[in-house]
Amino acid sequence: MYTPHAFRVAIVLAFSAIANVQAAPYEPAVHITQLTDESRDRTMEVWVWGPAQPTGSASLVGGNSVFEPVAGESGRSFAPGSHPLLVFFHGTSGNTRSIAWLSSALAAHGYVVVSANHPGSTSLQVSQESIMQTWLQAEDGRFLIDALLASEKFATSIDAERIGSIGFSLGGYSSLAIAGARLEIRKLQEFCRISPEEETCKLFPDALYGPPVSGRPQNRDVSDPRIRIAVSLAPGFVPALTPDSMAAIDVPVLILAGTQDEMLPAERHARRLAGQFVLGDYVELSYASHFSFLGLCTSGALEILREENAEFLCHDPIESTRQAVHDRVIRLITDFLDAGFDRDL
């Protein structure tokens, strides 16, 4: 059972031995579709993952020239019963494929996972304007929850009382935002004036450094009361989050970060969240970089990415440790989710 406690801080060795590792009870299945939020005029490619009864013949899906495919049977029915639902948010310029490794693992563990390519923050769609529309992913998440709970195809597979959020980088912020965290853009402006060399500050338009503008839409409340637990991997926008909003979140929160994060160094970003929430844990993984939380890279990925000056997507502090990081992340998250969802039962 989950026991509420003060926010714990831990640093773990990413590739140390993991005791008592058990095989996942299911095989992952995935359904790829398209959904439109007509009220907001947003159409998204959506991947709905879920647990399927094991047959020993799981296929591979989601691969491309950069990321390796992952286990997943396309179109296969989910196992009987109602399962917890997780809304998974990708990072800036990310997509459903780059986070498919974790979606697949969570489905194998017994979770229904929905992820979408969010217009304005997904691959090849990011602009200086859209990157500042910080509310969009969380609002998409609320729509996706509504859509799945109303779906004849998926609703019977979902336990509507056990819904959580998970996200990476920008999506890590979105996972916290849909749980109740709010940001104030002037806090980020102040941070970037002091530390303009920060990689995250270089991503924003020149307008960020101008006079603070009160009432900007970034500070709107985009929370969803159905969220009962939240997981955030290497979250973005941390300097802008307001302490009052984080202190008001009364559901378990897990923050994961890498000690070698070159994009959002933990000591100036994720680690600032330690002690900000009522319940949960903060864990740093040694030898993990920001992009260690993305999928495994193909043998030809670096050559392809070199043409776009994007080799960093596949560079890890120590070569060939990404799988070990993934194994540790899966164990940390599933243990946390299992305990957190059971705390009120």
Each residue of 233-256: pLDDT tens digit? 999 999 999 999 999 999 999 999
For residue 164, the Cα-to-chain-centroid distance in whole angstroms is 11
Asked if the model's pLDDT at residue 216 lies above 90, the reply is no
pLDDT per residue over 81-106, tens digit each? 999 999 999 999 999 999 999 999 99
Lowest-confidence range among 72-76, 131-135, 302-306? 131-135
Confidence of residue 327 (pLDDT cuts 50, 70, 90): very high
Q: Rounded mean pLDDT of the chain?
A: 90
What's the one-letter identity of residue 76? Answer: R
Domains of the chain are 8-342 (3.40.50.1820)
Percentage of the chain modeled with pLDDT above 70: 90
| pTM over cut 0.85 | yes
Pick from 182, 185, 246: nearest CA to 220: 182
Q: Which residue is listed with tokens 């853009």?
A: 185
Q: How much is the pLDDT for 6? A: 47
User: Locate tokens 């997981």: which residue?
Assistant: 231
| pLDDT for 4 | 44
What is the C-alpha separation between 338 and 322, in angstroms, rounded? 24
Residue 295 pLDDT more than 90? yes
- Extended beta strands in the chain, E state: 8-13, 27-37, 42-52, 60-61, 70-71, 73-74, 83-89, 112-116, 158-168, 227-233, 253-258, 280-286
